[in-house]
């Protein structure tokens, strides 16, 4: 089957999520489909009900970031991958509380002599997922992300990869952090972390048309071998006077140094390709092309794709951003379940 035939196959054989996303994202002419009916079909699915229920207004930080399904980042991320974004009334209503949370957090002044970058991490996480969900033009989301892009660009444009300092020069670091490097406090003097996080890619895709050159420059920094050699998880940061904490979520790229990797890194291949695919410099990179070549090994005789199950993980109470929610609602116990999901994702990766 060629591309058009695969699109027809996906629509004719897929369930609600794949049918909706195929019609709205892969089809050559959306007018060939009854999008309104497909939206209704999608919102009636048990998965839509479940993940909308997970997306509830909860004020504690551990309901924003964490591995549980009810955490904002996992619920919102899963809904985005289901195709449920701005324009769906239920999501519009649920998003308002997180816009309000972000606004209140930004307006709260800290009494601490040293700004804690962890607070900024939470704000950035919310703004990034809201941007990816179609709420990029709402304040304070819009202003926050624009400033974030400029700040990261101002640092990365100099290709400075010396981001750690000697811990011996700092007091109060626990022995528990013996194996963690200390990120230079100059990179977050006002709490605004200047290095890119994996969640930033969600926001970058929403603002790419506005900042193509700056974002491509940041992506080039990420694709640099020196950045890819930075330890996974960055390191520790100064979170107050003689207070330190781990702050990770750097953008390591599975397959960058080859595909002899463990299951966790395999489950991250496709999601990190999806997150990087909007950017021209990423799609033209050796890493991206090597990943596509690797995935082509799973092409079937009929033109569909069948990835190993660990490449499309679906596991409750696990992080969306590490590829644990790649399922698209198909019954993988059937003959075509995994093939439908694999083929959809491959067409998305080739679509650019």
Q: Which residues pair with 348 in a beta bridge?
A: none
**Cβ-count burial 7-25 (b if 16+ within 10 Å, e if not):** bebbbebbbbbbbbbbbee
Q: Are 215 and 338 in contact (CB under 8 A)?
A: no
**What one-character-per-residue DSSP string does 38-57 give?**
HHHHHHTSHHHHHHHHH---
- Burial (CB < 10 A; 0-12, 13-18, 19+), residue 67, is middle
Q: Which of 243, 163, 174, 171 has its CA nearest to residue 196?
A: 163
In order along its 352 residues, the chain shows pLDDT tens digits of: 999 999 999 999 999 999 999 999 999 998 889 999 999 999 999 999 999 999 986 667 789 999 999 999 999 999 999 999 999 999 999 999 999 999 999 998 766 656 889 999 999 999 999 999 999 999 999 999 999 999 999 999 999 999 999 999 999 999 999 999 999 999 999 999 999 999 999 999 999 999 999 999 999 999 999 999 999 999 999 998 889 999 999 999 999 999 999 999 999 999 999 999 999 999 999 999 999 999 999 999 999 999 999 999 999 999 999 999 999 999 998 889 999 999 999 999 998 6
C-alpha to C-alpha distances, 225 to 147, 229, 251, nearest whole angstrom:
26, 6, 12
- 16's CB contacts (< 8 A; 6+ apart) are 38, 41, 42, 44, 45, 329
């Amino acid at each position: 089957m060629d591309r058009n035939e695969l699109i027809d196959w996906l629509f004719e054989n897929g369930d609600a999520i794949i049918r909706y996303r195929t019609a709205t994202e892969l089809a050559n002419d959306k007018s060939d489909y009854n999008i309104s009916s497909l939206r209704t079909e999608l919102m009636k699915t048990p998965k839509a009900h479940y993940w909308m229920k997970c997306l509830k207004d909860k004020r504690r930080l551990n309901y924003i970031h964490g591995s549980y399904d009810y955490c904002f980042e996992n619920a919102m991320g899963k809904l985005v991958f289901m195709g449920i974004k701005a324009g769906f009334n239920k999501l519009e209503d649920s998003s308002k509380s997180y816009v309000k949370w972000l606004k209140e957090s930004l307006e709260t002044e800290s009494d601490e002599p040293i700004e804690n970058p962890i607070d900024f991490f939470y704000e950035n996480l919310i703004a990034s997922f809201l941007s990816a969900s179609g709420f990029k033009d709402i304040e304070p989301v819009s202003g926050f992300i624009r400033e974030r892009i400029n700040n990261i660009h101002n640092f990365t444009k100099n290709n400075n990869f010396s981001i750690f300092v000697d811990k011996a020069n700092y007091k109060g670091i626990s022995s528990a952090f013996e194996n963690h490097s200390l990120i230079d406090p100059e990179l977050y003097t006002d709490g605004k972390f200047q290095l890119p996080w994996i969640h930033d890619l969600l926001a970058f895709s929403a603002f790419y048309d506005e900042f193509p050159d700056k974002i491509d420059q940041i992506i080039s920094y990420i694709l640099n071998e020196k950045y890819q050699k930075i330890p996974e998880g960055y390191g520790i940061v100064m979170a107050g006077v003689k207070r330190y904490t781990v702050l990770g979520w750097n953008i390591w790229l599975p397959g960058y140094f080859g595909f002899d990797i463990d299951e966790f890194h395999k489950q991250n291949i496709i999601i990190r390709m999806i997150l990087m695919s909007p950017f021209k410099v990423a799609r033209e990179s050796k890493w991206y092309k090597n990943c596509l070549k690797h995935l082509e090994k799973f092409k079937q005789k009929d033109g569909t794709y069948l990835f190993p199950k660990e490449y499309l993980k679906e596991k409750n109470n696990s992080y969306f951003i590490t590829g644990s929610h790649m399922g698209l609602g198909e019954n993988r116990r059937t003959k075509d379940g995994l093939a439908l999901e694999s083929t959809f994702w491959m067409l998305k990766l080739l679509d650019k």
